[in-house]
């Protein structure tokens, strides 16, 4: 529209200029100055009206059409929490094989035999070979300190292994087997679910369900209904509202109840969400 107005103005000026030149030439012999000026005004107005007629017949056609007002979207924002829990299905077991010898050559041969025997025993017990990971070894010299100085009298070699156990119930048996098969140290690591399962996703679903329930209650009070979800954002760190801290005996009682209700190797997940719903 801006281009059209500028173009229209330029065409009017051009038409007026042409008319003026023609009238000046003609008026030099036949017209008086006053009549000349009046004729120029009439000609310019006529040219302007003709161009407006081409644009749509009225000056208002030059103005951009008014846009319809965009209705404001009404929403409901709800803060909700979700929880999910499940018994652990997998566990990581850390094993360490340690050996000592006066020579490095003899030490590495001995260590290799023990590690090989331990791996074979674990595989025979049902552990997949891919679930046994040998970590980089640690070699430490044994030193002797005397009047004649310090000298190396032998070496110690530690080889860590990480074992993934698919069934938590097999943990005690695997620990006994590893001890009998050459493991010098044992450390129980992290518990987890089977591959493909996520407590976080379950906790998010629980929080969304809780948020929709609360939003529906608010919408009824406002005389409307809950529509689609507009946005979801997970709150972390300082955004999360800290729970009220219990005091004294109440705190001790809460801890005891929590311990009694949560069996060993039980996993849990907690999320805080801000969910925005459409209000219809």
Higher pLDDT among residues 62 and 204, named by residue: 204
The pLDDT tens digits for 167-189 are 889 999 999 999 999 999 999 98
Q: What span, in angstroms and rounded, lies between the C-alpha atoms of 276 and 76?
A: 6
Quickly count: other Cβ atoms within 10 Å of residue 265's Cβ.
14
Mean pLDDT calculated for residue range 8-15 = 54
The pLDDT tens digits for 251-275 are 555 555 444 444 557 888 898 999 9
pLDDT given at position 3: 43
Q: pTM to 2 decimals? A: 0.54
Q: Which CATH class is domain 90-192?
A: alpha beta
The partner residues of 85 in beta bridges, in order of sequence, read 268
Domain residue ranges in the chain: 2-62, 75-86+197-240+249-279, 90-192
Q: What span, in angstroms and rounded, lies between the C-alpha atoms of 201 and 10?
A: 66
Using only the alpha carbons of the chain, give its radius of gyration: 44
Choosing among 3.90.78.10, 3.30.110.170, 3.40.50.300, 3.30.300.30, the CATH entry for 75-86+197-240+249-279 is: 3.30.110.170
What distances in angstroms separate CA 138 from CA 55, 96, 115, 116, 157, one per listed residue?
89, 11, 14, 17, 6
At residue 165 the predicted structure's pLDDT band, cuts being 50, 70 and 90, is very high
Element (H, E) at 114: helix 104-124
Mean pLDDT, the chain, integer: 76
């Amino acid at each position: 529209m801006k281009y059209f107005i500028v173009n229209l103005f330029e065409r009017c000026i051009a038409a007026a200029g042409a008319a003026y030149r023609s009238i000046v030439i003609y008026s030099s012999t036949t017209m008086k100055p006053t009549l000349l000026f009046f004729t120029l005004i009439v000609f310019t107005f006529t040219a302007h009206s003709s161009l407006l007629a081409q644009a749509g017949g009225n000056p208002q056609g030059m103005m951009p059409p008014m846009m319809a007002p965009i209705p404001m979207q009404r929403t409901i924002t709800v803060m909700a929490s979700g929880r999910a829990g499940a018994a652990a299905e997998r566990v990581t077991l850390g094993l360490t094989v340690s050996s000592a010898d006066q020579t490095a050559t003899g030490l590495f041969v001995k260590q290799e035999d023990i590690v090989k025997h331990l791996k074979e025993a674990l595989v025979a017990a049902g552990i997949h070979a891919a679930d046994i990971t040998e970590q980089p070894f640690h070699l430490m010299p044994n030193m002797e300190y005397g009047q004649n100085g310090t000298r190396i009298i032998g070496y110690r070699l530690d080889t860590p292994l990480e074992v993934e156990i698919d069934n938590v119930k097999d943990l005690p048996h695997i620990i006994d087997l590893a001890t009998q098969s050459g493991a010098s140290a044992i450390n129980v690591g992290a518990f987890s679910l089977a591959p493909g399962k996520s407590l976080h996703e379950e906790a998010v679903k629980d929080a969304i369900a809780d948020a929709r329930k609360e939003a529906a209650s608010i919408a009824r009070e406002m005389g409307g209904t809950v529509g689609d979800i507009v946005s979801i954002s997970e709150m972390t760190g300082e955004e999360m509202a800290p729970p009220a801290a219990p005091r004294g005996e109440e705190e001790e009682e809460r801890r005891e109840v929590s311990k009694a209700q949560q069996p060993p190797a039980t996993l849990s997940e907690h999320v805080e969400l801000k969910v925005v719903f459409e209000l219809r």
